[in-house]
Structure 1
Amino acid sequence: MNTATAIALLVLVAAGSASASDAAPADATAAPAADAKSPPLDAKPAPLEKSLSYGVGLRVGGGETTQTAANTVGVSSLDVRPYISGKIHPMVKFSANLDLNNTDASRIHVLDAVAQFEPDQLFNVWFGRFLPPSDRANLSGPYYQNAWLYPDAVNGYPSIYAGRDDGFALWGQTSGGQFKYQGGFFTTDANTPAKQGIYAARLTYNFLDPEPGYYNSSTYYGSKQILAVGGAVQYQRNGIPTATGKQDLLGFNFDALFERPLLGGDALSLEGAYYDFEQGNQGQSFFVLAGYMIGQKLGIGKVQPMVRYQQLMPTGGGTSTHVLDGGLNYILDGHNARLAFVVQHRDLPAVASTTTFQLGVQFQE
């Protein structure tokens, strides 16, 4: 092999090496693209978020009642409420609650059974048994109010049990509960004539912190700044039996709640409501309530003195009903754990006045 031939071979080998070296990065870059795979056509979507919650509420209360006849003593309130709620789709939910109460021969009642379609905060549909649009006290219920005893002297709205009716409601809210509307059609009997159902509606506006959701509370124990006003109306054709037949029921109310946290963890609560059942029911009524929670703990809880006055003025005059409550709440964990001592004096028409001293315990989990 001569020198010229050797040089030619070296040039060819070098050119081949350079070509191979230049091609390598292109192959390396292309490899990931070749490995990338598109989702198969039969791939299943991510599962929807579902949930199931359960709990129980318990209220036990009792004491002594003094009257002109012999005094009585005993446990006057035994209430157990199992709670179940769930979500099968972000827009589809349900609630199912039972109630066992010693004041009704210890029978188990269907308290709530609600199918909830909630596509948007502005528009929701509930169907089943639940609290209809009514006053704040009713929408709070006994477990979420300031006082231990429910204000039973003032409310004349019809119900099946514990304020509940069967029917449906349209409701919505803006700004997470700043403004709320509720309206619906309800019955108290499975065989109610079509023209004798209950039409119910309510509007609520919160000037300070919002109250989200269908229900509300009558105190937040200083966790919110509340200035809320609301009003409700219910109408039922031939809803009230009379000696000569039936009369229409037309009832309405206005209510307000003011609650403000103060220095040191204290909290002031003021609540009031006015009712008018002039057509076909008992007349006009109102209640006012004041409570003050002391922020400094006493032991493991906080003390809240409270006082409430109720008055009912019957249609057409006559003797009014007066009910005065005063007591101390001992707050362990908000509405989930509290103790209460209450004194209630009742002056009722044609009935001897009574004074009740009662201790109460409430737990929820």
Structure 2
Amino acid sequence: MSPAPSRPLSVLAALVVALLPLHSARAGKIAINDEAHLNIAMLLQTQAQVIEDAAPLGGVGTDFFLRRVRLLVYGNVNKRLSFFMETDQPNFGKDGNFNAQFFVQDAFVSYEFLDKVSVDVGLVIAPLSRHNLQGAIALNTVDFHSNLVRFTAGVGKVWRDVGVQLRGFVGPLGFRAAILNGQEGVRLDDGTTVNPDDLPRGVAMVRWNFLTREEDLFFQGIYFAEQTHLSIGAGAEYQPNAIASATGKHDSAAFSADVFLDLPFSASQELVFQTTVFHYRQGMNNPQSGTGFLSELGYRFGKVEPVVSAEYFNSRVRAQDAVALRPGFNVWFMKHTFNLKTELALTRVGDLSEAETRLTGTAQVQFFY
């Protein structure tokens, strides 16, 4: 009698046999039946940076690291019920640190109870603006303008929070409205009670699609599309008594307004523009309070695209401002599947009239499949 196979080999064999009857329409997609399917994908973004005055002796520093490593699992159980989950381990190896946290970044189920109207339950992105609802896979720049997305410190995880969201369309009007956990009601060490009534956080966004509806779960920074995308949107966030500072307790409030345009002139030429204004109220003495904006402009010629972006934040606290200009160049070898993005960031932080301009050059190779 031959020895029994080891348990790991038995499990692997059983899994292979179970998957053999399933027909895969494309790599990573497993069709279970006419309505149900499972997708498994990976995102890898590798960055190289050259940073002014970052070397130990004050010279130019270099850094090579994995900006994002994500595993995505998503699909449909039937025509109405779907799910999405992804992990992340950002900045893996940055500054030689390979202890970056591995965590679940998104995890929710969606039920479409009306045509193009769904409810999401789980860990979702707080829907304040189109910019922070973009997918990292489909950005038109190297990265997000993270300095302008200033949710209450310590709330949620990477712009995500746990709760329930209503998402959908009424004609050309798209909407997302979420009730999220937000800042927990808690008594601090100094005796101050933050959010004493333990009320949830509300975040909502509406946008008007003039020509083509953006029905993506995560918006794209560039579509490589034949149809023009033009939309305007506005968002708001509010949670009472969510912040404690030296001047007492404060409500957390945020507002946004944005415009997005993706204008194709032909299959090989495309103009892409977006701009967003943010306003935050988190206490007069809080440097997170203030007003800022971002803008991006690119023009694609076939597989190449020069792009420039800028951002500015005017804090309510003196000498806590920030400004950045980022000219760059993208090469879309295989659109969002495989590309190279570069930029030179010129930034100033603090008192802008006296702050020095810092230079950082970044090149990023993206693979998504």
Q: What TM-score results when the alignment is normalised by the length of structure 1?
A: 0.79
Q: CA deviation at 1:122?
A: 4.6
Unaligned runs of 5+ in 1: 1-46, 296-301
Task: Tell me which amino acid in the other structure corresponds to 2:219.
Answer: N
Bigger helix share:
1
2:291 equivalent to 1:284: yes
The equivalent of 1:35 in structure 2 is none
- Alpha carbons of 1:251 and 1:195: their partners in 2 closer, same or farther (altered >3 Å)? same
Equivalent residue pairs, number: 311
Structure 1 CA distance, aligned partners of 2:165 and 2:262?
28
The CA deviation string for residues 296-346 of structure 1, in whole angstroms up to 9 with x for no partner, is: xxxxxx110000110000115545311110110001222221101110011
Task: Tell me which amino acid in the other structure corresponds to 1:342.
Answer: E
Task: Tell me which amino acid in the other structure corresponds to 2:241.
Answer: N
Task: Tell me which amino acid in the other structure corresponds to 2:358.
Answer: T
Q: CA deviation at 1:188?
A: 4.4
Structure 2 CA distance, aligned partners of 1:245 and 1:352?
34
| Percent identity over paired residues | 21
Contact 1:121 1:174 in 2 (8 A): no
The equivalent of 1:62 in structure 2 is 48
Task: Tell me which amino acid in the other structure corresponds to 1:65.
Answer: I
The equivalent of 1:51 in structure 2 is 37
Q: CA deviation at 1:180?
A: 0.7
Unaligned runs of 5+ in 2: 1-32, 187-194
1:155 maps to which of 149, 158, 161: 149
Q: CA deviation at 1:49?
A: 2.6
Contact 1:196 1:238 in 2 (8 A): no
Q: CA deviation at 1:170?
A: 0.9
Structure 1 CA distance, aligned partners of 2:103 and 2:121?
18
Task: Tell me which amino acid in the other structure corresponds to 1:286.
Answer: F
**Runs of 4+ more than 4 Å apart:** 188-194
Task: Tell me which amino acid in the other structure corresponds to 1:251.
Answer: A
The equivalent of 1:88 in structure 2 is 77
Structure 1 CA distance, aligned partners of 2:83 and 2:119?
11
What CA RMSD, in Å, does the superposition of the two structures yield over aligned residues?
Answer: 2.3
Structure 2 CA distance, aligned partners of 1:244 and 1:256?
36
The equivalent of 1:39 in structure 2 is none
The CA deviation string for residues 123-175 of structure 1, in whole angstroms up to 9 with x for no partner, is: 31101002121211111133222110221221212452222111110111135
The CA deviation string for residues 268-309 of structure 1, in whole angstroms up to 9 with x for no partner, is: 1111000111343420000111100003xxxxxx11000011
The equivalent of 1:358 in structure 2 is 362
Structure 1 CA distance, aligned partners of 2:135 and 2:242?
24
- Alpha carbons of 1:121 and 1:132: their partners in 2 closer, same or farther (altered >3 Å)? farther
How do residues 200-349 of structure 1 correspond to structure 2 at under 5 angstroms? 200-263=203-266, 265-280=268-283, 281-295=288-302, 302-315=303-316, 317-318=318-319, 320-349=321-350
2:83 equivalent to 1:99: no
SS of equivalent residue, structure 1 residue 348: strand
- Alpha carbons of 1:190 and 1:250: their partners in 2 closer, same or farther (altered >3 Å)? closer
SS of equivalent residue, structure 1 residue 89: coil
Structure 1 CA distance, aligned partners of 2:214 and 2:53?
41
Structure 1 CA distance, aligned partners of 2:249 and 2:335?
44
Task: Tell me which amino acid in the other structure corresponds to 1:136.
Answer: R
How do residues 122-141 of structure 1 correspond to structure 2 at under 5 angstroms? 122-141=116-135
The equivalent of 2:5 in structure 1 is none
Q: CA deviation at 1:261?
A: 0.7
- Alpha carbons of 1:341 and 1:214: their partners in 2 closer, same or farther (altered >3 Å)? closer
Further displaced range: 129-138 or 113-122:
113-122
Greater C-alpha radius of gyration: 1
Q: CA deviation at 1:57?
A: 0.7
Q: CA deviation at 1:189?
A: 6.3
